[in-house]
Amino acid sequence: MGSPDFWNHQETAQKKVVQLKALKGLVDPVEAAIRTAADAAELAELAEGENDAATLKQVVTDLTKAESDLAALELRTLFKDDNDPRDCFMAIQAGTGGTDACDWARMILRMYQGYCERMGFECKLIDVLPADEAGIRSATLEVRGPYAYGYLKGEHGVHRLVRVSPFDANHRRQTAFASVDVTPEFEEVDIEINEADLKIDTYRSGGAGGQHVNVTDSAVRLTHIPTGIIVACQNERSQPLNKKMALKYLAAKLLAARELERSAKVDAARGAKGRIGFGSSSQIRSYTMNPFQLVKDARTDLESGNIQAVLDGRLEPFVEAFLNWNAKK
């Protein structure tokens, strides 16, 4: 990267940047762990020589954190997909279930925002479509951070909620569905989009405002006519910026579709079955709030009775279980 002509070939350069990011994501934590262990050993020796209980206690605290960091690093060894180090887009869509489904989509959005905050990811809401009565019809997040796609790819699929509906006057139990689509974010140089293939609509963003909606007069919706893929952005403060973000998301969707098609051909040649990838619409997890409380993953069989913690974004056990399950396939 220090070469004067490094950026002369944009496509090759961008791929090297992604490769470097992935390698640093593994090497830097290892080097940090080695430094922590060496520092702790030296400090422990000094503390023991001086019978310093307070310093020894600090050594234990430092090593406990290092152990946790190493466990997280070990989890990264399960990332096998070339796209795992990438940032990603998450699209949440209300499914069947009427107002309950829209409210469920809102709850899922909050869940992932909480998880991203816990992971230290940058999570940006780029589009949201509020529902008429409550909740949202759809929302799109851009998630940035080391291995964001790798951690979140297992959330792709249909999520099912069972609860007593707060919108039913008779307090009946209702089932609602929402889908989550996770797409890795690719460099802009990876694909070219012909503007002649686009239908471009501009409109005023709406909603209740507040932290979730940045109200502007410059929202952009792009329809890719050959594929029918639709993306939108309303978070930026100008129409050109919204269009740029929408084009980035569209490029990611097109590349994901291309990769799915290629993978499907490879799987067909190998006789593979049940592959999890782009475009999967199977139910992956159920969240039951009545008559009992239980979150259960349909793939790993992992269960949790603390549904509120899960909805607050404590998804780490489910993410780890999926990565281990997927690695064994």
Sorted by where each begins, the domain ranges of the chain are 6-76, 88-327
List the structure tokens of 2: 């220090």
The pLDDT mean for the chain works out to 84
For residues 80 and 138, give the distance between their C-alpha atoms in angstroms, rounded to a whole number: 30
d(CA 151, CA 68): 17
Q: What is the pTM of this model?
A: 0.74
Segment 33-41 shows an average pLDDT of 87
Which SS3 state, helix, strand or coil, does residue 204 take?
coil
Give the best-scoring range by mean pLDDT among 29-38, 49-58, 87-96: 87-96
- CATH class given for the domain over 88-327: alpha beta
Tens of pLDDT, residues 67-122: 888 887 888 888 888 888 889 999 999 998 888 999 999 999 999 999 999 999 99
Return the bridge partners of 199, or none.
223
Dist. CA 174–CA 282, nearest whole Å: 20
